[in-house]
Chains A and B, each alone.
Chain A
Amino acid sequence: MAVAVKLDFDNTYEIEPLSGDLRVSTFISDLEDGSSVPLRVEISSEPHALLPSVFNLAFGPTNKKGDIDDKAEISHKDYSKVFSSILLAGLTYLTDHTDQYLGIDGSNNARAYLYYRFLQRNFDYLNQFFEMYGLKYYVRISRFGKNQYDNPFDFNDVVPATDRIRKGMVIRSNLMYNYFIFKLK
């Protein structure tokens, strides 16, 4: 996947809303092999039960069940245009929901690192529109076991920690944020 993405909301694919509330939209992405694929952008219709202002944003091709496959590996012809289109759909939604946050999961560490590179590379541009945050989860170490096979981590005791993403922040790929959050400025 290309890293040299230049986000520009003036250079997007033609986005077609599939719902009147802008929670579901689609656009056609051209692929490297000359074919094209419809990509769907979805904003969850219900927030997290405990977090009423945080909504998940997912994107990707859909599978046979109609669910977004965010692990699909596709070679897009123009990654700049793809990600500009996805974020424009999110931006448009947020202009009607100024008190809400949109969250994007990095489905794996490599992809999360790539998203972070995109954010940093385009920080000045995105910073005009969004407050951007990165979320990490920390697991408690209960105590070290008596032998080396005892698991000291208590995965029922996880603490979330959010950072405001700032220009130039360097984070190693293996310590990358799990979740990226956007709010309209």
Chain B
Amino acid sequence: MVNGIIGKKVGMTQVFGADGVVAPVTVLKAGPCVIAQVKTAGTDGYESVQLGLVEAKPKKENKPSQGHFKKAGVPATRVRREVTLKAGGDAVKAGDQVNASIFAEGERVDVIGTSRGKGFQGVVKRHHFAGGRMSHGSMFHRAPGSIGASSYPSRVVKGMRMGGHMGNKQITVRNLKIVRIDLENNLVLIEGSVPGGPNAVVVIRKAIAAKPIRIAQVEPVKKKGKK
């Protein structure tokens, strides 16, 4: 059994629990995926599986990647990601189908995706610098301040936080809870937000350090007559 699946972000909404508690959820279209290649310790040095996301309208693939999928005996897919295998699980082979049924409702998952690109940003937005005040004669607004004193160290130390390109990089959000799984439509509802905008490709994998799921404490019944 594989430990993850490729999904596409559909958007966000909210769902009501049975007790009326609202959960903010991200709707992900997870799979269906095919196994394009099984990597083994013998041939590749490690064990994993290459998944391909099957799309409704397949894009044209070039000859080399078509050949790669021909080996697995499945139609070529554009989006491919590697996921690990569950140790001691059932053996998988190239060409197998994978869908959201590998997860269960209430399970913890990690979501890996590419965050939204923010362009060139200053230190206040990029590194949460406090900045200065905007008015009352302040002449220091959103600048980074001193980045290296003149006599010592007389240079800018490496790794100094400065303005620069922000976003558009791989982000992993860990320990998100699966609220609901709709196998018919390949939808997975995950509590909270995941990186990227609509149609962003994400990998949903079983949480590598799963937090225990808290069960809501039932309120003790108040005794009547006492105040």
A-B interaction: no
A residues with CB within 8 A of B: none
Interface residues of B (CB under 8 A from A): none
